[in-house]
Homo-oligomer: A and B are copies of this chain.
Amino acid sequence: MLTYQLPERNKYYALYVALRGDISRGKLAAGEKLPSKRALAEHLGLSVITVQTAYEQLLAEGYVLSRQRRGYFVAEVNAGKATAAQYSVAPAREKEEYAYDLCSGRAPSRLFPFSVWAKLMRYTLAEEGGHLLERVPCDGDWALKVAIANYLYRFRGFAVDPRYVVLGAGAEYLYGVIVQLLGREKPYAVENPVYGRVPRTYALNGARCSLIPVGDKGADVEAAENSGACALHISPSHQYPTGAVMPADNRSRLIAWAERTGAYIIEDDYDSEFRLFGKPLQTMAGMNGERVIYLNTFSKTLAPSLRMGYMVLPPVLYARYRALYGESANVVPLFEQKTLARMLDGGYFERHVNRLKNYYRGVRALLLEKLNSLNIEKQIIETGGGLHLTVRLPDFESDNAIKEAAKARGIKIKCVSDYLLTADPRYDRIAVINYSSVDKDTLTGGKNET
Of B17, B79, B323, B335, the contact of A324 (CB 8 Å cutoff): B79
Asked if A9 is at the interface (CB within 8 A of a chain B CB), the reply is yes
Asked if A143 is at the interface (CB within 8 A of a chain B CB), the reply is no
Across-interface contacts of A112 in B (CB, < 8 A): 130, 133
Chain A 76-118 interface residues, beta-carbon cutoff 8 Å to B: 77-80, 82-84, 86-90, 106, 109-110, 112, 114, 118
Q: A170-B331, A329-B299 are in contact. Are A132 and B323 (CB under 8 A)?
A: no
A180 touches B204 (CB 8 A): yes
Q: A79-B323, A320-B78 are in contact. Are A135 and B206 (CB under 8 A)?
A: no
A305 touches B89 (CB 8 A): no
Name the residue on B nearest A118 (C-beta): B125
A84 touches B118 (CB 8 A): no
**In angstroms, how far is the closest chain B Cβ from the Cβ of A205?**
7
Across-interface contacts of A88 in B (CB, < 8 A): 315
A135 touches B334 (CB 8 A): no
Across-interface contacts of A82 in B (CB, < 8 A): 315-316, 319-320
B134 touches A125 (CB 8 A): no
**In angstroms, how far is the closest chain B Cβ from the Cβ of A376?**
32
**In angstroms, how far is the closest chain B Cβ from the Cβ of A183?**
8
B135 touches A125 (CB 8 A): no
Name the residue on B nearest A136 (C-beta): B305
B89 touches A315 (CB 8 A): yes
Of B8, B118, B134, B319, the contact of A79 (CB 8 Å cutoff): B319
Of B121, B184, B205, B303, the contact of A125 (CB 8 Å cutoff): B121
A307 touches B332 (CB 8 A): yes
Across-interface contacts of A133 in B (CB, < 8 A): 109, 112, 114, 303-306
Bound Cα distance A87, B77 (Å): 46
Asked if A173 is at the interface (CB within 8 A of a chain B CB), the reply is yes
Chain A 239-259 interface residues, beta-carbon cutoff 8 Å to B: none
Asked if A169 is at the interface (CB within 8 A of a chain B CB), the reply is yes
Across-interface contacts of A170 in B (CB, < 8 A): 329, 331
**In angstroms, how far is the closest chain B Cβ from the Cβ of A5?**
14
**In angstroms, how far is the closest chain B Cβ from the Cβ of A398?**
25
Name the residue on B nearest A109 (C-beta): B133
A129 touches B109 (CB 8 A): no
Asked if A235 is at the interface (CB within 8 A of a chain B CB), the reply is no
Across-interface contacts of A84 in B (CB, < 8 A): 290, 316
Across-interface contacts of A132 in B (CB, < 8 A): 114, 303, 305
**In angstroms, how far is the closest chain B Cβ from the Cβ of A424?**
23
Of B83, B173, B335, the contact of A335 (CB 8 Å cutoff): B335
Asked if A176 is at the interface (CB within 8 A of a chain B CB), the reply is yes
Name the residue on B nearest A306 (C-beta): B333
Bound Cα distance A433, B129 (Å): 31
Bound Cα distance A307, B141 (Å): 14
A323 touches B78 (CB 8 A): yes
Asked if A358 is at the interface (CB within 8 A of a chain B CB), the reply is no
Fill in one digit per residue for A409-439: 1 if any B CB lies within 8 Å of its CB, else 0. Answer: 0000000000000000000000000000000
Asked if A336 is at the interface (CB within 8 A of a chain B CB), the reply is yes
Name the residue on B nearest A169 (C-beta): B331
Of B80, B87, B304, the contact of A329 (CB 8 Å cutoff): B304
Across-interface contacts of A8 in B (CB, < 8 A): 8-9
Which 7 A-B pairs give the minimum distances between C-beta atoms? A79-B320, A169-B331, A206-B206, A133-B303, A87-B315, A135-B304, A305-B334
| New contact pairs (5) apart from A89-B319, A112-B130, A121-B335, CB-CB < 8 Å | A78-B322, A82-B315, A84-B290, A135-B305, A170-B331
25 inter-chain pairs at a CB distance below 8 angstroms, sorted by A residue, are: A8-B8, A9-B9, A62-B323, A78-B322, A82-B319, A89-B318, A89-B322, A90-B319, A90-B322, A109-B134, A114-B133, A118-B125, A121-B335, A133-B305, A134-B305, A135-B304, A135-B305, A197-B327, A205-B205, A205-B206, A206-B206, A299-B329, A305-B335, A307-B331, A333-B336
